Amino acid sequence: MVKQEANIRFTPCVNEREPMSMDPAEVSLLKSLSHRPLQENHLVFYHFIPSYLKKDPNQFSIGLTMFECNRIPADWTHACNQMDEIWVPSMFNYHTFIHSGVQPQKLKVMPLGVDTNTYRPGASPLNINGKRSFSFLILSSSGWDARKGYDVLLQAFAEEFGEEEDVCLIIKIRASSQEEIRQQQERVTQFVSRIAGRKRDSIIFLSSTDDWSEEKIAQLYNSVNCYVLPTRGEGWNMTVMEAMATGLPVITTNWSAHLDFINHTNGYLIDVKGYQKLNAWNTELLWAEPNKDHLRSLMRHVYMNQNEAENKGQLARETLLNSYKWSISAGRMMDRFREILS
């Protein structure tokens, strides 16, 4: 946690039906912050989707938000323009929000950060049954999300690597129930069987109903050789940041917010072969379609050139240490708060 000596009151925007499991110390801290008295001259700060932003008529009001498509939903534009400032983490969203009608003078780019002490090389690796000498990883804190490109990755891996090769793909996602875990596993098995004609033991599926601690996630990163995320769009991309901080080489799509901190020098970028609609009822919202064949070649390249990939992983960590530690991000935000209040 980064302490900047700010006096904060915490108020949830909505009451979650299924609250995220949190460390008891964090729960206690948030409860204590919910009763803090506020100074007469204070800022109102939202970190949520624009649908819930509400300008305080008496106080300077800021909204921190993001989106993963080429523009934002139409009803978000008015909500953003009612605020005094809108903070977005990336240049990608700076441009997509302006393209959607958000007033440029209201926008500030405020990059998020990563805990480079937790996510670092050297944490004890996990014991993963069936793991081979070289392993790729994809990770998501949510369930089977089309945005993350699981389908593209499974097809690329199953087509590129034979079962006899000493390489595996580890998929770590979350589920809300044991039945959902069973359904996720069945989906993976059926999808791969259609491609490869058989079940693939080299594809290792990890799903759980509990939230892993950051320390355990850091151990997972330290258990693999390369992180892969053929995402269709990101508003920021914390897992790529965490993997880079751990010193892993990263393969991800050459589009959206993470291009602020990953490039061809410190990572591997998948070509985009086109753009597709987010859904059938909103034809203006588009995200990228990563090129499956290029992903195949990048995964093979990393597997065959492990020293080069390790060097890129070291450069990736240096990028985050130099510019994206939480202390740097929090300090940038505090500087802006002080400017406003002065």
pLDDT at 19: 58
pLDDT at 18: 56
305 assigned to some structural domain = yes
pLDDT at 281: 80
222 assigned to some structural domain = yes
Looking at the structure of the chain, the number of domains it has is: 2
151 assigned to some structural domain = yes
121 assigned to some structural domain = no
Query: Is the same domain home to 261 and 226?
Result: yes
- Please say whether the beta carbons of 310 and 249 come within 8 A: yes
Query: Is the same domain home to 258 and 309?
Result: yes
Which tokens in the block code for residue 100? 């959607």
Query: Is the same domain home to 108 and 222?
Result: no
Return the closest-CA partner of residue 229 out of 242, 218, 212, 214.
Answer: 242
216 assigned to some structural domain = yes
Query: Is the same domain home to 184 and 74?
Result: no
Residue ranges with strand state E in 140-184:
167-174
Query: Is the same domain home to 290 and 336?
Result: no
49: CATH:
3.40.50.2000
12 assigned to some structural domain = no
Query: Is the same domain home to 213 and 255?
Result: yes
Query: Is the same domain home to 206 and 269?
Result: yes
pLDDT tens column, 164-173: 999 999 999 9
pLDDT tens for the chain, 342 residues long, are 456 667 888 888 777 655 566 678 888 888 888 888 888 889 999 999 999 999 999 999 999 999 999 999 999 999 999 999 999 999 999 999 999 999 999 999 999 999 999 999 999 999 999 999 999 999 987 777 889 999 999 999 999 999 999 999 999 998 888 998 888 888 888 888 888 777 889 999 998 888 889 999 999 999 999 999 999 999 999 999 999 999 999 999 999 999 999 999 999 999 999 999 998 787 899 999 999 999 999 999 999 999 999 999 999 999 999 999 999 999 999 999 999 998
What range defines the domain where residue 98 resides? 24-112+326-341
Query: Is the same domain home to 222 and 263?
Result: yes
Query: Is the same domain home to 146 and 62?
Result: no
Q: Which helix or strand (DSSP H or E) is residue 138 part of? A: strand 134-139
List, as own/partner pairs, every contact residues 47-56 make where C-beta atoms lie below 8 angstroms and the sequence separation is at least 24, other chains included: 48/13, 49/76, 50/76, 50/79, 50/80, 50/86, 51/75, 51/76, 51/79, 52/13, 52/14, 53/79, 53/80, 53/82, 53/83, 54/82, 55/82, 55/83, 55/84
pLDDT at 227: 98
- Please say whether the beta carbons of 257 and 315 come within 8 A: no
The number of helix segments (H) and strand segments (E) in the chain equals: 10, 12
Compute, in degrees rounded to 10, the torsion defined by CA atoms 7, 13, 19, 23: -10
194 assigned to some structural domain = yes
Query: Is the same domain home to 203 and 298?
Result: yes
212 assigned to some structural domain = yes
Query: Is the same domain home to 93 and 221?
Result: no
Query: Is the same domain home to 105 and 175?
Result: no
